[in-house]
Amino acid sequence: AVIGRYKLSVQSTSSGSSSPANLGSFVLLFNPWSSGDDVFMPNKAECEEYVLEEFGIIFAGNKNHINSFGWNFGQFQEDILNICLSMLDRSLYYRQDPATDISHRNDPKYLGRVLSAMVNANDDQGVLLGNWSGNYEGGKSPSSWTGSGEILQNWKKSGFKPVRYGQCWVFAAVLTTVLRCLGIPTRTITNFSSAHDADGNLRVDEFYDASGNHLDRAADSIWNFHVWNESWFSRSDLGPSYSGWQVLDATPQEESGGIYQCGPASRNAIKEGDVDLDYDCPFVFAEVNADCMYWNYDPTTGKKTLIFSKSTVIGQFISTKAVGRDDRVDVTNDYKYEEGSTKERDIFKKARKKLGLEDKFDPTAPTPQETDQKPDISGKFKVAGTLEVGKDLNLILVLANLQSDVKTVHVNMTAWSTVYTRRPVHEIWKNSVSVTLSPKEEKQFPIKIPYTEYQQQLTTDNTIQVTALCHVEGGIQVLVQRDITLDNPAIDIQILGEAKVNQEVDVEVIFTNPIDTEVRDCVLQVEGNDLLRGILEIDIPPLKASEKSSTKFKLIPFETGSKHLLVHFSCDKFADIKTFKMVNV
């Protein structure tokens, strides 16, 4: 049966005349507990997590430094079901052909695809407008949201105008809310070093100028992380071996069938390189498998020179929240065979062949110019000290001469603030040095970027990309780079006393200003299902250098069980400090 709202009436006949009586209405949803359903999930604990759980954890940061934050999916909160159902009636599919659209609403793969389009505002005045510029005027910065409820309610309240602004985890979190609400088991997945392959050739190209600046000139990109969804259902169109977890992605990256939508792509098909199967497998396959090409680009002549290529960079530490626990689970092996194994390369070749790429340039096969010349030096950035907003950033550039003769190296270094997609936003620092390396010598160059230098330039993602382009005399160039994610200062929540239904309990939130200047415009936002209604907002007076603030407020929980309280703190110097606390009521 198609899901949605049904009217129920009864017809009674007495002495030849019949009169219908309306008994009311009900909403039919998918049922993962029922073995006959397309979304049947045999494991009860997984049903609890992926359909009934209203709290989630989303992983972010970068591959060297994974961090996480809580999210309030809130799929069973007031009016959310109505909003989810009205979302179906606002899709392009429904507007073009209502009867056909409704007749397909028994099919989770159809609804997953439709909703992946509706969660972004492209094409259809959907829920969220994406913005990756680093400037979020005219809306809320994507990292300031703490739950889907506020976004969905705002969308409805505004007369269904797109809510400003979203980035990948916001799109994914809202899609999780909608699909769980409709009974389809769904979770968020974070892929670190995620490829956005715009031209479908299973490789991403990055360009750097002679000074080592990362040029924002390619359609391709490698994101520090990207968040998408997996939903659980059978694939009657592909066969049983492709059932199970299906990838959906509501972030508007590339059009599919003329609309910004993505999936469902069977996770098994991705792992086996079956990129010719519906839907959007080549794009998802590239997100976790693409090869990377790093080029030196000369803007005056338009000449590009390959610096090096890597086939093991993309798709690392693919993460999701554990079932029934607040831990990270690594699912990389469910997406691909082990990096560097022959099986993994065979699958890559199989995918290239299916996409008709086998005759085209293969980035992993060395070209004659590359086999002749190996780099004479190696380099890396090491972190010295803590990576915290408010503290100076200390790094060490380590250069090693791999040859048995002296090498002279000219090094151009830059540091840029970026958004999490690694799009450069502001230059923070640059420097150049010339170095002589004796045979087999290793040298270390300490780098210090003071807080005062990066503070104004930092985006809300707290990310900095450091690059050193090394010009070796008589040899090929070597590119050294590192993406740094800085941690926000900590914030602490204490529940003062025992939390009981319909009884007041005090909560204390403590924040210490870690820097030596005053912070102002301090705002605390608190939300938590069954602990308080809506979002509590508290203004906090300015805090002097190193001053500690304690803010107390009361909760009156209205349901028993383990609940999560989400706290979000922001001020003029620190954007979006988040934490959560489990409360047993």
Name the helix (H) or strand (E) containing 259.
Answer: none
The single-letter DSSP state of residue 358 is T
The backbone torsions φ and ψ at residue 135, rounded to the nearest 5 degrees and listed phi first, read -120, 115
Name the helix (H) or strand (E) containing 113.
Answer: helix 108-118
Could you tell me if 213 and 466 are in contact, meaning their C-beta atoms sit under 8 angstroms apart?
no
Cα angle: 370, vertex 376, 382; to 5 degrees:
110
Place of tokens 């989630």: 56
Q: Where is the binding site for Ca(2+), in residues?
A: 289, 291, 339, 344
571 catalytic per annotation: no
Catalytic residue among 226, 471, 564, 568: 226
The single-letter DSSP state of residue 309 is E
Catalytic residue among 249, 461, 530, 576: 249
Q: Please tell me the total number of residues recorded for the chain in this structure.
A: 585
Count of other CB atoms within 10 angstroms of residue 436? 12
Cα separation, 348 vs 541, in Å, equals 56
Could you tell me if 510 and 407 are in contact, meaning their C-beta atoms sit under 8 angstroms apart?
no
Could you tell me if 149 and 174 are in contact, meaning their C-beta atoms sit under 8 angstroms apart?
no
Beta strands in 342-423 (DSSP E): 377-383, 393-401, 407-418
State how far the alpha carbon of 492 is from the alpha carbons of 383, 489, 509, 546, 552, in Å: 27, 10, 6, 15, 12
Sign of CA dihedral 555, 558, 559, 560: positive
Structure tokens given for 400: 């090693």
Count of other CB atoms within 10 angstroms of residue 298? 12
226 catalytic per annotation: yes
Count of other CB atoms within 10 angstroms of residue 170? 28
Q: Are strands 203-208 and 291-298 parallel, antiparallel or unpaired?
A: parallel
Sign of CA dihedral 31, 34, 40, 42: positive
Catalytic residue among 47, 84, 101, 168: 168
Could you tell me if 252 and 260 are in contact, meaning their C-beta atoms sit under 8 angstroms apart?
yes
The single-letter DSSP state of residue 301 is T
168 catalytic per annotation: yes
Nearest to 575 by CA among 522, 538, 539, 535: 522
Cα separation, 411 vs 212, in Å, equals 9
- Report, as residue numbers or ranges, the catalytic residues: 168, 226, 249
